[in-house]
Structure 1
């Protein structure tokens, strides 16, 4: 099954993917820096975007994230404590953030995805020129490219040309 870069991540994990993908490396456009995401905590969101992308890269590589990346995420998360309370209907739990801004929502979404078991499917494209986050819907959970039509085929074509150049004439 091909990876569809437009396939949304489940639940609030889509917010995490959306934040990370505010930087279009190919097009040279950065929605955060351009003010498309108005916030009084731009520096924090930029750090969080980089951290989330690094965490997703670890998912792609099937490796634990670097200690520095985890420490940075934990520093940001500590600034956004959460309070869990019961709703009037006690069969439904809801989380209320003390901080009312995007960073707190993103931190909560990462926590929820880890608990739900969906976090490991949020990956960063293995193309270092792209690193677009995608939700891996492949059956084997081994997706590496945001799109086979774009980054995957480009990588395979480059590898093919390298092999051809290395062959004796």
Structure 2
């Protein structure tokens, strides 16, 4: 009978061990090694890669801004809008046949990320305002067109404010 009791007690202990491991009750030393090894690996990773991680944290925002600016410049075709234009063509032999306007005008535009800044200069502006030979230009690109405001400030007051569609 003792043999039966010994067998049944071993079976009971095996069942108890199976039920404890099924319930997630592992011995303390097994859980400690998991925590210790995870902490040691994390600490080693931080010590080895810490300076690079901090450097990347400083560099990433600047790189994101630069990438967004490049994308906007490409999207709004800044290189196509930037330049200087005048009403007097060069290298044409028969300018009178072209029937151009008599207004002597020069338009200079700087485009950046869909925003336009520039100047408009004419001989009429030079005659009207002796110290300032141009008007300022500011606007935004929308598709193939730009909405701009032409303005200038003279003695602290708006000298010209023209809104063009």
TM surpasses 0.5:
no
TM-score (norm 2): 0.21
TM-score (norm 1): 0.20
Structure with greater helix percent: 2
Which fold has the larger relative contact order, with Cα–Cα distance below 8 Å and residues 6 or more apart in sequence? 1
Structure with greater strand percent: 2
Q: Give the number of the structure whose alpha-carbon radius of gyration is greater.
A: 2
